[in-house]
Structure 1
Amino acid sequence: MNSLTLNTDALQLDDEQFFQLCQDNRDLQFERNANGTLIIMPPTGGDTGYRNARIVQQLLNWCDSTDAGVVFDSSTGFKLPNGANRSPDAAWIPRERWEGLTAEEKQGFLPLCPDFVVELRSRTDSLPTLQEKMQEYIENGTRLAWLIDPSSQTVQIYRPQQSVEVVNSPSQLSGEGVLLGFVLTCDRLWL
């Protein structure tokens, strides 16, 4: 099943109402673009779920060993500076940004843009739509973003003020200067 986009002009959901809609419909994943358009995504299939778990596992292992920050899975919502609500497949922020949030802010959609994001393309995802989303992350403050496409075994790497770099069938990806010392092993993502 593909994602479904709804024009919600008539609804005009505020942030609290949007959060409640997501809580009341936990079997679906919702996002909202900067214009307020509601995007409904079905649960992932087994291949995508497996790959996403492998990515989050590696991020968590690195984070636990370095205590460098906080890792989030695809269920976490972020309220970006442009007003969009996004849920990347994996995300990371430095510990000081997490500690700078209030207890109330930590309970809802996090009011910030992650420093690092991963989007994992499933076979039903539109590549141009994902590329636009990656650009949106960068424009809102993400410092490093990976768009991983298992079907073509490519990774598009996004960085602020740089052209997108495309890497074919990498065995590893570096967290560069954003996630110091993190290396994602990609071999199991291409299975």
Structure 2
Amino acid sequence: MIALNLRPTLQLTDEVFEQLCRSNPDLRLERTAQGELIAMAPAGSETGYQNADLLGQLWQWNRQMRLGVVFDSSTGFALPNGAIRSPDAAWIAKSRWEQLTPEQRRKFAPICPDFVLELQSPTDDLAFLQAKMQEYISNGAQLGWLIAPETQTVYCYQPGQAVQLLEHPSCLPGEPVLPNFVMDLTLIWD
């Protein structure tokens, strides 16, 4: 991850950021609330495999329950604080998603997901990801999981609660945000 501060010469508005992303489709870019541009390296193969498993579980649950919309790591969300972030997986309740206009849905939707998941890759800085998770919670996320495969730990985030640290859990229940959803982590720990 590299943070580039483009101020004062370049104002990184939503439109400029969107053009920058379209002009550089091979880069994973985010914008902080302070206007810094964050360039992240692509995930390694093992991390991509693990993330696909986690996303697949969330997608399958949502496909059956039809309670919301699931997003992958290529999706950017314009958070209330001005940041544009891309969690590894996200979910938004159907009622909140349907409040957005078609135009808002086509761009970086101006909404914080109800649920966010970040999977720490070997090149990710843990402190950076923890700050990002706190940012999601501060901007309206109701549940967040930061999964660290190398240490086999999960950091669980919820508004108004201390971060819960779980060591080598076999599964994660999503209640009450994700009703009847349980994330199986056995593949992640193998």
The TM-score bracket by the shorter chain reads over 0.9
2:119 alignment counterpart: 120
Residue deviations 1:100-149 (CA, integer Å, cap 9, x gap):
11111111101010000000000111111111111001100000000000
**Structure 1 consecutive aligned stretches of length 4 or more whose deviation exceeds 3 Å:** none
1:189 is matched with 188
**Partner in structure 1 of residue 54 of structure 2:** 55
Q: TM-score, normalised by structure 2?
A: 0.98
Q: How many residues align?
A: 189
Distance in structure 2 (CA, Å) of the matches to 1:71 and 1:159: 19
Identical-residue share of aligned pairs (%): 56
State how far apart, in whole Å, the 2-side matches of 1:176 and 1:24 are: 40
What is the deviation of 1:43? Answer: 1.2
Normalising by structure 1, report the TM-score: 0.97
Distance 2:82 2:13 in 1: 11
CA deviations over 1:56-89 (Å, ceiling 9, x no partner): 1000100000001000000000000000010000
| Residue 8 (structure 1) aligns with | 6
TM superposition shift of 1:96: 1.1
Partner residue, 2:157: 158
Alignment pair present for 1:135 and 2:127? no
CA distance in structure 2 between the aligned counterparts of 1:8 and 1:116, rounded to whole angstroms: 30
Aligned partner of 1:46 in structure 2 is 45
In 2, the alpha carbon distance for the partners of 1:146 and 1:157 equals 5
- Long gaps (5+) in structure 1: none
| CA RMSD in angstroms, aligned pairs only | 0.7
Correspondences of 1:26-175 after superposition (within 5 Å) = 26-175=25-174
Q: Could you tell me which residue of structure 2 aligns to residue 180 of structure 1?
A: 179
- In structure 2, the gaps of 5 or more residues are none
